[in-house]
Amino acid sequence: MKDQLFKIGEIARLFHLSVSSLRHYEALGMVVPEYTDPESGYRYYGLDQFESINTLRYLRQLDMPLDRISEFLAGRDLDKMEQLLEEQKKEVSRRIAELESISGKIDRRLLQIFMSRNAVVDTISDIESPFLRLAWIKYDLPTDPGIEIDSPLKQIETDQKEALIFLGKAGLSISQEKLEQGRFDSYDGVFILLDDEDNYEGPVIRLYPQRCLKISFRGLHKDAEPYYRRLMDYMKANGMEPAGFSREITLVDQGLSQDPADFLTEIRIPYKSRKDIRL
């Protein structure tokens, strides 16, 4: 009888499986040897097990979970196979979308790092700010060296089914009223810049494209006050007024680099021309 059977090592070589995998499948009841020598404990497999192993390998190549494969092998049926494949196709589609989302986030982070390394700093520029979605909450924070925004960021995440990843996307804002009054000693808003893939369930502020003055500097939020003064002085000198709250984001901080020379914070303030206001 043994001459018609195959030892576990032979089966492992034939099907490109490890011996430990075959033993694991046996423990799960998925592929049971046709004969086990009671004295030596050697396992022998017959042709009846070949079909089960082939089917198992095929379904594993489709990344199907072992419990679903075990369920199918316990009662092989064409309708059941069709159902398994349909369900696995839906799961694969879900994961593809998830991986595409991850890929998009990686691309944005790589672009952000590239731009931070090549940023023009300490120079005011007039830009067209693109459409943005912000998860924003009102929150008063002083602009002092000990500024801490983790607590308000956690408030933004409250009751979210999915955690928001805010590395390089968290920001602070100063209201239009304070900007007009030249008060830069405190912030009154905290926000997270939402990617297209972020499913945020709370209120969202949508900022449509508009002209902004922008300045970038090598530093953190605690270093921002003099740059606000420069932006507002520039506005006054060029017949401009703030047209909304500021958007201040530290693109590179201690979360990405230990070197302060890499730190980069950007401030954008939307503006309107006094000529347009009179018209």
For residue 2, give every residue at least 6 positions away whose Cβ sits within 8 Å of its Cβ, in sequence order, or none.
35, 44
Per-residue model confidence (pLDDT) at position 109: 83
SS (H, E, C) the chain: CHHHCEEHHHHHHHCCCCHHHHHHHHHCCCCCCCEECCCCCCEEECHHHHHHHHHHHHHHHCCCCHHHHHHHHHCCCHHHHHHHHHHHHHHHHHHHHHHHHHHHHHHHHHHHHHHHHCCCCCCCEEEEECCEEEEEEEEEEECCCCCCCHHHHHHHHCCCCCCCCCCCCEEEECCHHHHHHCCCCEEEEEEEECCCCCCCCCCCEEECCEEEEEEEECCCHHHCHHHHHHHHHHHHHCCEEECCCCEEEEEECCCCCCCHHHCEEEEEEEEEEHHHHHC
What is the share, in percent, of the chain residues with pLDDT greater than 70?
A: 93
Q: Which region among 7-11, 233-237, 242-246, 253-257 has the lowest average model confidence (pLDDT)?
A: 253-257
What's the chain's length in residues? 279
4 has pLDDT over 50: yes
Q: What is the mean pLDDT of residues 92-99?
A: 92
151 has pLDDT over 70: yes
pLDDT tens per residue, range 153-186: 878 877 666 665 556 688 999 999 999 999 998 9
Q: What is the mean pLDDT of residues 244-251?
A: 94
Per-residue model confidence (pLDDT) at position 247: 96
Q: What angle do CA 172, 119, 239 make, to 5 degrees?
A: 65
Per-residue model confidence (pLDDT) at position 147: 76
1 has pLDDT over 50: no
Q: Selecting from 3.40.640.10, 3.40.50.720, 1.10.1660.10, 1.10.760.10, what CATH number does the domain 2-76 have?
A: 1.10.1660.10
Q: Where are the domains of the chain?
A: 2-76, 119-278
Q: What are the Cα distances from residue 7, in Å, to 34, 37, 46, 54? A: 10, 11, 9, 17
Q: Which region among 93-97, 166-170, 259-263, 274-278 has the lowest average model confidence (pLDDT)?
A: 274-278
pLDDT tens per residue, range 28-72: 988 889 888 888 888 889 888 898 899 999 999 999 999 999 888
- Greatest alpha-carbon span in the chain: 101
pTM: 0.71
Other CB atoms within 10 A of residue 262 CB: 16
Per-residue model confidence (pLDDT) at position 279: 45
Domain spanning 119-278: which CATH class is it, in words?
alpha beta
244 has pLDDT over 90: yes
For residue 161, give every residue at least 6 positions away whose Cβ sits within 8 Å of its Cβ, in sequence order, or none.
199, 201
What's the mean per-residue pLDDT of the chain?
A: 88
